[in-house]
């Protein structure tokens, strides 16, 4: 009987952690390796520069960024995915940080680049967040699948859109 309730309790917790994310950002959907490579190519950052992944999921983008010598910070609200991302990226030491929490509270002042795979209705809010970030550092943003309403993408490669902020 205890096993029954443990299994159902864990199942309920998984549904809650994966489903509640829709209110904040987007459900977990892994990005293909080729699209990660294309996103990093579009960002065109030099080793040592900082990139942020808002909703880092399993850490695939962060791992690829670290392999290029980028300092990468990933925000993830789902504790299960954050743990997976941490496990996949821990060998990169100080190059990668995983932050368990809501990325809408992220400090973006030191970011040179950003990668997001959000739901369309969050894109306008993201645009406002980036514009209010402060600091004089320009920022490149690659959005997977969703455009920022009212803003023209500088470049598009497949489902990826590149935006620049001054």
Q: Mean of the per-residue pLDDT values for the chain?
A: 90
pLDDT recorded at residue 70: 98
As for how many domains the chain has, the answer is: 1
CATH of the domain at 73: 3.40.50.150
Q: Is residue 107 pLDDT above 60, yes or no?
A: yes
The Cα–Cα gap between 52 and 72 comes to 6
Q: Which domain holds residue 132?
A: 2-165
Q: What is the pLDDT of residues 12-57, one digit of tens each?
A: 655 555 555 555 667 888 999 999 999 999 999 999 999 999 999 9
H-type helices in the chain, by residue range?
A: 2-19, 21-24, 33-43, 60-67, 79-89, 123-131
pLDDT recorded at residue 29: 87
Residue identified by tokens 């969050």 is 122
The Cα–Cα gap between 8 and 4 comes to 6
pLDDT recorded at residue 143: 98
- Residue 163's CB is within 10 A of a number of other CB atoms, namely 20
pLDDT recorded at residue 22: 55
How much is the average pLDDT of 106-110? 92
pLDDT recorded at residue 6: 67
pLDDT more than 90, % of the chain: 77
Does the pTM of the predicted model rise above 0.95? Answer: no
How much is the average pLDDT of 133-143? 90
pLDDT recorded at residue 146: 96
Q: Is residue 134 pLDDT above 90, yes or no?
A: no
Contact in structure between 50 and 81 (CB atoms under 8 Å)? no
């Amino acid at each position: 009987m205890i096993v029954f309730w443990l299994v159902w309790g864990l199942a309920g917790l998984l549904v809650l952690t994966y489903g509640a994310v829709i209110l904040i950002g987007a459900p977990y959907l892994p990005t293909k390796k080729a699209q990660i490579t294309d996103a990093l190519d579009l960002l065109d950052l030099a080793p040592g520069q900082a990139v942020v992944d808002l909703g880092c999921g399993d850490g695939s983008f962060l791992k690829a960024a670290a392999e290029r010598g980028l300092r990468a910070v990933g925000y993830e609200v789902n504790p299960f995915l954050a743990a997976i991302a941490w496990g996949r990226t821990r060998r990169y030491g100080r190059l990668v940080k995983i932050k368990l929490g809501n990325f809408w509270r992220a400090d973006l002042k030191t970011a040179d680049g950003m990668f997001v795979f959000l739901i369309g209705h969050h894109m306008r809010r993201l645009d406002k967040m980036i514009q209010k970030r402060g600091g004089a550092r320009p920022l490149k943003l690659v959005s997977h699948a969703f455009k920022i309403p009212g803003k023209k993408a500088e470049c598009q490669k497949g489902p990826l859109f590149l935006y620049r902020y001054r």
